[in-house]
A and B are shown apart, each in its own frame.
Chain A
């Protein structure tokens, strides 16, 4: 299957620790997005990349959060000095951008983070 994959699927960490998540998009997709979903809420946009360039960041993405997509393929999302409020599902999506027309975002299964 060549869908969007995310690893790990679950992460439990202690407050103050750093965590890193990985997203592998659909191989021919040049855009990659990160969202955060807390319990009982819809996903909230965090950031997105076109190839290796990070084009937009939400104000939700505090300075403890950093995302990279170094070679325009997989992406990592790192959270430093985790807080209990960071507990959420982190979703990755990818799409194939082609000159302004709409292209569906395909979502991965998410990484569920629990900060104790």
Chain B
């Protein structure tokens, strides 16, 4: 069985400050890991993904995440927050052999304070 936990349902950062959104997963098989962003009244957009290879993955809009197997974590970071980063962020996991079924975390709402 697979599951995802996201620490902090709401995170607020000042514009220009570091963004850190935490994600821990549970998976009985090698995982594929994802971060999605959802803006109000819009669908989900893939920010970045880890499948195999390099454990530090870079995504769109300056975001990156590091897969740490020993910690079962996949935290999302961005060095400098921008007002346009305010959105809902979802961490997700799927099995490497059945990626079709993506299991999402509960989400973290990011607010950026001017």
Contact = CB atoms under 8 A, between A and B. Distances in A.
A91 B43 contact: yes
Interface string A78-116: 000000000000010100000000101101111000000
Contacts of A107: 36, 43-45
Interface size class of B (residues with CB under 8 A): 20 to 34
Contact of A56 (B4, B45, B92, B101): B101
Interface residues of A, number: 21
Interface stretch (A11-19, A36-44, A64-72): A36-44
Given A40-B9, A102-B32, A102-B51, A45 B102 contact: yes
Contact of B106 (A42, A91, A93, A105): A42
A4 interface: yes
Interface of A: 4, 31, 33, 40-45, 48, 55-56, 91, 93, 102, 104-105, 107-110
B9 A104 contact: no
A109 B9 contact: no
